[in-house]
Amino acid sequence: MLKVAVVGASGYTGVELIRILHNHPEASVTAVTSEQSAGKSISELFPSLKGRCDLTLENLDPDKISEKADIIFTALPHKAAMGVVPAFLSAGKKVIDLSADYRLKNASEYEKLYQQPHLSSNLLDKAVYGLPELKRDKVAVADLVANPGCYPTSIILALAPLLKEKLVNISTIIADSKSGVSGAGRSLKVDNLYCEINEGFKAYGVGGTHRHIGEIEQELSLLAEKDIKISFTPHLVPMNRGILSTIYLESTVALESGRLLDMYEEFYSEEPFVRVLAKGEFPSTAFVRGSNFCDIAVTIDKRTGRIILVSAIDNLVKGASGQAVQNMNIISGFPENMGLEMLPVYP
């Protein structure tokens, strides 16, 4: 049985990891940490876990945690993970980091976006960007996996087939994304209070200022083998979880909807968690909630000639913890879908 530690278990991604791993036949959560709630049972913080995971939350001591686990999930805030990940790697542990600390390959880009020098920039080249559908072989041999962000997952998976085939006018990409409130984390913020969110719908990070744009452009540029800049605007929707991304772009060749759909179906034909929808069908966050699926629809606006891509994920599952478990399965040699076959919760 694979022993797993969840470092930073008191946040939404932490409890989602525990929920998913509880049903994993080959993995067991053996340690959970929280600096603010050390000494309490994890089920005190999250009554949903009562009787299924009642581990006591510990202070973060990398040496002690390393003794209890084979693989470490670091579900810490951005800028905190890089302070402890090197210690886990030095102890010979595999690390899957759910923060943004190892996603960017350029340390100066990280400093610009996160307003802090990187404390272990020597590990940036070692870290593998953990989008399994595109990086599976590298993930399999990685010691450190940088789990992708939620917005980037929804956008990169939607664009990958077109970029790989070099069919995109890369100067025309516009990504318009909407996210549930859980994407902002569990810490207390005025902007996330009920009265601030309920009955509202707003854009934020407008004008290329959202931190995720760095990893989005990094990975899209790798796919296209050219530097790409996109227009990306995220929005906050008054729902708990889910991301819907609508992406507009122009092709460099004449394409029909049928050919476009065939291309996507072929590209993702062997992928267990990407569902390409039939012509005329479009994703909804309601149909992926609680699952590790990414649903993608492709069409062409005949009036303008623009390609329109729509993708939907659960930001806490395929956009975070589910994808992290998918990466764990690859690293450990388990079937990739092990413990992740839960169907979406509906309604």
Active centre residues (catalytic): 150
Q: Note whether 296 and 158 are within 8 A (CB).
A: yes
Do the Cβ atoms of 15 and 49 come closer than 8 Å? Answer: yes
Distance CA 124, CA 66 (A): 22
Q: Considering only CA atoms, which of 91, 72, 63, 87 is closest in space to residue 7?
A: 72
What tokens appear for 239 in the block? 């729902």
User: Cα–Cα distance between 240 and 314 in angstroms, integer?
Assistant: 10
The DSSP bridge partners found for residue 28 are 3
Question: What gap in Å lies between CA 82 and CA 86, rounded to an integer?
Answer: 7
Ramachandran sector of residue 267 (left: φ over 0; alpha: ψ -120 to 50; beta: rest): alpha
Structure tokens at 254: 């004449």
Cα–Cα distance for residue pair 256/301, rounded to 1 Å? 10
Identity of the residue numbered 326: Q
CA-closest candidate to residue 20, choices 344, 345, 339 = 339
Q: Which residue has the tokens 């002690």?
A: 64
Nearest to 44 by CA among 35, 34, 54: 54
Q: What does each C-alpha distance from 31 to 50, 101, 215 come to in angstroms?
A: 16, 22, 30
Q: Provide the 3-class DSSP secondary structure of residue 343.
A: coil
At 259, which amino acid appears? Answer: R
Quick one: angle between helices 322-332 and 12-22, nearest 10?
Answer: 50
